[in-house]
Structure 1
Amino acid sequence: MLDVLSVTLPVFLIIGAGYLAVWRGLFTQAQVDGLMVFTQRFAIPALLFLGIARLDLAAGFDWRLLAAYYSGSILCFAGGMLGARLWLNRGPEDAVAIGFAAMFANTVLLGLPIAERAYGGGSLTPNFAIIAVHAAFCYLLGTTAMEIVRAGGGGMVHGMKSVARALSTNALMIGVGLGLLVNLTGLPLPGPVDEATNLIARAALPTALFALGGVLVQYRPEGDVRGIVLVCGLSLMVHPAWTYGVGTALALSEGQLRGAVLTAAMAPGVNSYLFAAMHGRAVRIGASAVLIGTALSVLTASGWLLVL
């Protein structure tokens, strides 16, 4: 157990340092927002670009890997909506936002550093394959469901156009797209460009973890205890358990199973809150689930590492 905690604790200590720095006024919210902009628009796109550019596409984009992970995402989305309707007695729009929070795992800021520390940088091929389609999959599913429950014919078309525009200008998706382009064409990067990209990418994860801690100060847990329990239970336990079962049944390799299950075991990502805020539904649950889920995942992620 101590060996497992030696993998996960440093990650959460960096998050805690960021939280403490902002909470105690050593770092302003504006400064941490600037760090988050750097990581989201430059450092993490560089990391994803390199990861996808070097990815063995035939091995990485294995349908069994994607089926194991994303069938769990769909299950958690449906479970969150049903739980919100039948247990929490929330309206259909709130139910979609709660389902989205249960589905959208923090695949990059938590998933990558924990997997890298546990199994090494060479183990991240399954993680990058999942991340490559994660935002597009979750936003398309969530937005489609929201427009359906809001009804009104052309609303869905408008919603899909909005998602397409947002994804096409998203720096993370641009990093993934450029990485795929380099991978498929085999174009080599000039030496200085490759080295510069590597330098930026190496700053991505520690900076993003510190910034995530600072951002979490804004997300104070408020009320809606059952909703938070529903989201955290689905995202931290049901998703990885389902992925483990399906991945085992589909005979994933050890490396694929580790990557898929660890990614599925991550806490709800900040996009859970952003989706709720964008639609003005279940915002407190989305924000609190990000904060509490991140804190709980130090234990649940360690538990899944023991299982694996």
Structure 2
Amino acid sequence: MLDILAITSPIFLIIAIGYIAVYRNIVAQTVARGMGAFVINFALPCLLLRTVIAHDINKVFDTNYLAAYGSGSLIVFALGYFFARLIAKKSQQNAALQGMGMSMSNSGFIGYPIVLQLLGPTAGIALALCFIIENLVITPLTLILGDSAEAEGTSRWQILRKTFTRLARNPIIVAIVIGMSISISGITLPGPIFSVIDMLASASGPVALFVIGGGLVGLKLRGLRFDMARIVFGKLVLHPLIIFLLLGLVPDLDPVMKIAAVGYACAPMLSVYPIYCQRYGHEAMGAASLMAATSLSFITISTALWLLDSTAVFGPLP
């Protein structure tokens, strides 16, 4: 267990440093948001670009991983959505957001730094695959359900076109496409260009964690207790559990990739979750859920990794 804590505790210490820095106004929260924009628009895309061009395209585009992680995420999304819609009697927009909060991990900001320490370069390959599911499946599904609920007089085709047009300009998606194109073509990037990509990619982990901490300042855990508890339970317990069970049905998948999938599924929801919630007037639910999930994830991630290590169900950790 101490070995696992040695991996997870530095991650959350950097989050704590970010929180203290913003709380004490050493770094303004607006500056922290700017750092987050740097990570999303430059550092993470460069990380994915570096990962994809450095590996064989057949290894990066692992259909077994995509099937297991994608199916698990969709199952959790559906459970969250239909429970909120049919049992809790929430609106379609609220239900879609609850499904998103349960099934979409903060893969880049929290999942990657942890899995990188645990598994090394494999973390980048798994991250690219997780981003494919999150950005091409879960995000569009949430936006389509949310927008269609309020888009009177707008056809489903117009909603789909608007959603995928927005996604086509997403720097993360652009980076994955460019990386795959370079990998398939066999082109070798000039040394100076690769050095720039490498330097920007290396900044993604620590800066992202600092931004997470700064973003927690000012969030309130008030009201919405049942919605928040349901979303946090779904994200920190149900999502990794279902991914774990589905991975057992995929014997051909590399055991190290299975560990990576569970590691990413254990991460709390994406840091911009409250922004998606704000789009439909549920920012309080999103902010409260994000703060609770991020705070509790230190316990759940450490426990999940300890169980994987002690049981060696997918083999011993590297």
Q: What is the TM-score when the length of structure 2 is the normalising length?
A: 0.90
Maintained 8 Å contact 2:78/2:99: yes
Is 1:219–2:231 an aligned residue pair? no
Q: Give the corresponding residue for 1:77.
A: 77
Partner of 1:267: 268
User: Matches of 1:54 and 1:181 in 2, distance apart?
Assistant: 12
1:218 CA drift (Å): 4.1
The alpha carbon displacement at 1:203 in A equals: 1.1
Q: Give the Å deviation of 1:150.
A: 4.2
Question: In 2, are the aligned partners of 1:123 and 1:255 still within 8 Å (CA)?
Answer: no
In the TM superposition, what are the counterparts of 1:1-308 in structure 2 within 5 Å? 1-150=1-150, 152=152, 154-251=154-251, 252-280=253-281, 282-308=282-308
Counterpart-to-counterpart distance in 1, 2:147 and 2:24: 41
Q: 1:155 to 1:98 in 2, by over 3 A?
A: farther
Identity of paired residues, percent?
A: 28
Instruction: Give CA-to-partner distance per residue, 1:199-218, whole Å, 9 cap, x none.
Output: 11111110111012112224
Q: Do the aligned residues in 2 keep the contact of 1:98 with 1:285 (CA within 8 Å)?
A: no
Q: How far off is 1:192 after superposition?
A: 1.0
Question: Which sits farther off after the overlay, 189-198 or 214-223?
Answer: 214-223
**1:220 to 1:156, Cα distance in 2 relative to 1, 3 A:** farther
* 2:248 partner SS: helix
Task: Return closer, same or farther for 1:10/1:107 CA change in 2, 3 Å cut-off.
Answer: same
Q: CA–CA distance in 1 between the matches of 2:274 and 2:266?
A: 18
Give the CA deviation at 1:59. 2.5
Preserved CA contact (<8 Å) 1:139 1:163: no
Task: Note closer, same or farther for the CA distance 1:96–1:158 as it changes in structure 2 (3 Å cut).
Answer: same
Aligned 8 A contact 1:53 1:179 in 2: yes
* Contact 1:219/1:287 (8 A) holds in 2: yes
Tell me the alpha carbon deviations over residues 120-154 of structure 1, each in whole angstroms, 9 at most, x when there is no partner.
23454223222234212112211222244447463
The answer (yes or no) to whether the contact 2:22–2:214 under 8 Å persists in 1 is yes
Structure 1 residue 288 displacement after superposition: 1.4
Number of aligned residues: 307
CA–CA separation in structure 2 for the residues paired with 1:150 and 1:126: 35
Query: Which 10-residue stretch deviates more, 47-56 or 14-23?
Result: 47-56
Flag the 1:47–1:139 CA change in 2: closer, same or farther, 3 A: same
Q: Distance in 2 between matches of 1:125 and 1:187?
A: 19
* C-alpha deviation, 1:190, in angstroms: 0.3
TM-score, normalised relative to structure 1:
0.93
Query: In the superposition, relative to structure 1, how do residues 223 and 155 fare at CA in structure 2: closer, same or farther (>3 Å)?
Result: farther
CA deviation profile, 1:35-60 (whole Å, cap 9, x unmatched): 11221111111111111222332233
Q: What letter is aligned with 2:98?
A: I
Q: Which runs of 5+ in 2 are unaligned?
A: 309-318
- C-alpha separation between the residues in 1 aligned to 2:132 and 2:99? 21
Mapped partners of 2:157, 2:225: distance in 1: 35
Secondary structure of 2:272 counterpart: helix
Matched to 1:90, the amino acid is K
Alignment CA distance shift 1:110-1:26 (3 Å):
same
Give deviations 1:277-307, integer Å, cap 9, x for gaps. 1222x32221211111111111111111112
Structure 1 counterpart of 2:84, one-letter code: A
**Aligned partners of 1:231 and 1:156: how far apart in 2?**
28
1:112 counterpart letter in structure 2: Y
User: Match of 2:189, as an amino acid?
Assistant: L
Shift of residue 4 of structure 1? Answer: 0.5
Displacement of 1:109 in angstroms is 0.7
Unaligned 5+ residue runs, structure 1?
A: none
Conservation of the 8 A alpha-carbon contact between 1:147 and 1:156: no
